Amino acid sequence: APELAIFERRNWLIHLHFVRKEYDTCKVIVKEQLAETNGMCEYAVYVQALILRQEGRIQESLELFQTCTLLNPQSVDNLKQVARSLFLLARHKAAIDVYNEAAKMTEGDWEISHNKGVCYMYLKNPEQAKVCLKEAISFNRNELSYIMLGKVYLAEKDIHMAIDVYKRAVEFSPENGEVLTTLGLLYMQTGQFQKAFEHLGNALTYDPCNVKAILAAGSMMQHHGDFDVALTKYRVAAAETPESPPLWNNIGMCFFGKKKYVAAISCLKRANYLAPFDWKILYNLGLVHLSMQQYASAFHFLSAAINLRPKIPALFMLLAVALTHLDDPDNAREAYEQAAAMDGDKDPMVHLNYAVFLYNQGDRRGAQKQFNSFETATKAQGNVEIDPEMLELSSKLGPALQVGESMVWQQKAKAEVKPPPLPQVGLRTH
């Protein structure tokens, strides 16, 4: 029988071993084949390059793919692989150039447009990225393109467009846990808890160990006071990722909600040990210590948080509360001032606490002023539910200050500074 063309004679064998992931055997055959053909066998070089990439040796694999393009300059696949290697090596501009070249040879290739979009994303050129990714989606609806497009929008902080994109992605592939989770988190950020819960629940049915979804769902349960249910959810997550700071933070706040303060502190401290830069954990630690009446410790945690994140009014307010209890009214007043100045009449709590503080200090006029800002802030918030404790306190303080609509009371309000409701720290969205 006549011999087959010598170059391609054993391609089938190479392919067989490659798809079985028998890389060692594959490499041996490739080597033999290349020796036989003086390195002219395109397919052998191609497969070797793929194997090298799998092993993380991208630079060498790039050189081999370049050899491939020399051997067969007409092949789009080779060019695409060269571009992909460049992309993996973080040489995004070069990658885009090669992709453009490849695009000249073929029409309507989803992969080229998609990868170009991703490259533009890394080059911080969101406009071009969006154009390319949308083009990719028009060629071929693929969830990867949707995810990337969503990421571009998120990087621009355009949550609504991102939600839109992810919604279409979910329609296209309703069982992708990652997409479902991200969509749920985005809904959470916009305050649509019902929808968020729905999507997170879906994500958990397809993948019950999805830590991100568990954390998000758990934090929503915490929000509604279902601490025990949340804790059982977290138990699953803790087995998966025992070193996750947000997880320990949420567990700590669950215990805090159940009024188990010591457990709460020890969980939060572990979270802080694992992530010393996370201001939310420090904030929660400060809060728990405030309610444990350990004001000096609370002060330290809060001041650490402020050092890390100096722009959060709530931190200054809590610091002021701690300082009040440490008998340092001057600094407390300054902290309140700082908080109020940063806040700009958004959070009624700051003003209410400040008013109470001033009232207790005997500064009636200042207190009245703060109380008025409190009322405007509450009105500005409008339909949002107001904490009953806050209402009760204000209804006592108002008459005592002789402002507001209710009638004058003789009795002095025994005002007590209340910490704000627990901030529920969800997880960091990447």
Footprint on this chain of other proteins (rule: CB under 8 A): 53-54, 56-59, 87-90, 92, 122, 240-244, 266, 269-270, 272-274, 276-277, 282, 294, 296-297, 300, 303-308
The nearest distance, CB 134 to other proteins, in angstroms, is 21
Nearest residue to 112 via CA among 101, 122, 126: 101
The nearest distance, CB 59 to other proteins, in angstroms, is 7
The nearest distance, CB 270 to other proteins, in angstroms, is 6
Q: Which residue, 46 or 354, is less far from other proteins as judged by CB?
A: 46
Q: Which residue, 206 or 277, is less far from other proteins as judged by CB?
A: 277
Q: Which residue, 192 or 297, is less far from other proteins as judged by CB?
A: 297
d(CA 202, CA 199): 5
Q: Which residue, 9 or 300, is less far from other proteins as judged by CB?
A: 300
The nearest distance, CB 426 to other proteins, in angstroms, is 18
The nearest distance, CB 319 to other proteins, in angstroms, is 12
The nearest distance, CB 28 to other proteins, in angstroms, is 22
Q: Which residue, 221 or 298, is less far from other proteins as judged by CB?
A: 298
The nearest distance, CB 254 to other proteins, in angstroms, is 17
d(CA 285, CA 299): 10
Decide: residue 2, CB within 10 A, 0-12 exposed, 13-18 middle, 19+ buried.
exposed
Q: Which residue, 97 or 226, is less far from other proteins as judged by CB?
A: 97
Q: Are 204 and 168 in contact (CB under 8 A)?
A: no
The nearest distance, CB 218 to other proteins, in angstroms, is 17
Q: Which residue, 137 or 315, is less far from other proteins as judged by CB?
A: 315
The nearest distance, CB 65 to other proteins, in angstroms, is 12
Q: Which residue, 56 or 191, is less far from other proteins as judged by CB?
A: 56
Q: Which residue, 272 or 394, is less far from other proteins as judged by CB?
A: 272
Nearest residue to 247 via CA among 274, 279, 228, 225: 274
Chain mean position to CA 388: 31
Residue 196, phi then psi, degrees to nearest 5? -60, -45
d(CA 409, CA 402): 8
Taking the CB of residue 7, how many other CB atoms lie within 10 A of it? 17
Q: Which residue, 23 or 359, is less far from other proteins as judged by CB?
A: 23
Q: Which residue, 304 or 352, is less far from other proteins as judged by CB?
A: 304
